[in-house]
Structure 1
């Protein structure tokens, strides 16, 4: 289901201060949505890893060399947000450059669909299905936000 906090949870992890203790050397965030195009996603990853401005090759081979250079021997965290569909061969192609990363490197994939996690062969122990909050939990959260807002105004 959309809007239950998948991206927010990933953002909390991505921006968490304790990541510094894990010595993450490279970070990238890419929103994927409904078109799992390896070339487009790879270009976005290069832009996120290298920053702008940066020349991005136009062919897939060139595009795959750059992320490999960026993560070679380094520990990285990559978020692929809102993946709607994926073919396993395309997934393998996208992941190929990241095999050069250091042990402990991590990729977070957010998706609405369990079959995406199954397609990329994510073990069930590494998936975290989010459930909708109960009405009581929603009201409690809104109450907490209101309390924090009042405290900041004072």
Structure 2
């Protein structure tokens, strides 16, 4: 009877560990180039529109920004899947002056289908920008995080 009381909790712990191990490994396989590209372009466009509004530049819309991304993980010899800090996404977009731009964004993709991206300050500005009231505020397009659908 004592043995049954000890084995039951141990079996429950093993079951939880097995489920965690099965789902933990799955996250890396769900991170793909296509999923990251589909997520980062629209996220950047939305944040660039917010940046333009802060700076008082009217007429900048998600459609006018038209951001697209082309991502790569670690070069030609590394598969474009899985989590890691070695993703690079080239984002092409139209800036608030109507000029087509392309910038290299360093991306950290996480196993939980989230990412953090940072771009070149020469294209998106510094970490803080001055709003129309003269206040220094965070630049939403400087460094941003987002998520992607791991099942899409």
Q: Same fold (TM over 0.5)?
A: no
Higher normalized strand content (fraction of residues): 2
Higher normalized helix content (fraction of residues): 1
Higher CA-based Rg = 2
**What TM-score bracket applies, with the shorter chain setting the length?**
under 0.3
